[in-house]
Amino acid sequence: MEPISQGMQGPAVEDVQTRLSSLGYMIDAAEMTAKEFGATTVAAVRAFRT
């Protein structure tokens, strides 16, 4: 998997969002539709890492 970071968009972001969402982490629907690594994706990643 390629490294991704806040502000990026695309299939790699969508993959991470889908995985986090399936684990119960909340990600904004607009971010998921846009496949955008935004604020709620950042929050979900941080929560997962702790």
- The amino acid sitting at 14 is E
Residue 1: its pLDDT value, please? 67
Number of separate domains in the chain: 1
For 3-6, the CB contacts below 8 A with 24+ separation are 4/37, 5/37, 6/37, 6/38, 6/41, 6/42
Is 2 a member of any domain? no
So what's the pLDDT on residue 17?
98
The Cα angle at residue 19 between residues 27 and 38, in degrees rounded to 5 = 35
Please report whether residue 18 resides in a domain.
yes
pLDDT tens-digit readout, 1-50? 679 999 999 999 999 999 999 999 999 999 999 999 999 999 999 999 99
> Domain containing 17: what range?
11-49
Q: Is 0.95 topped by the overall pTM? A: no
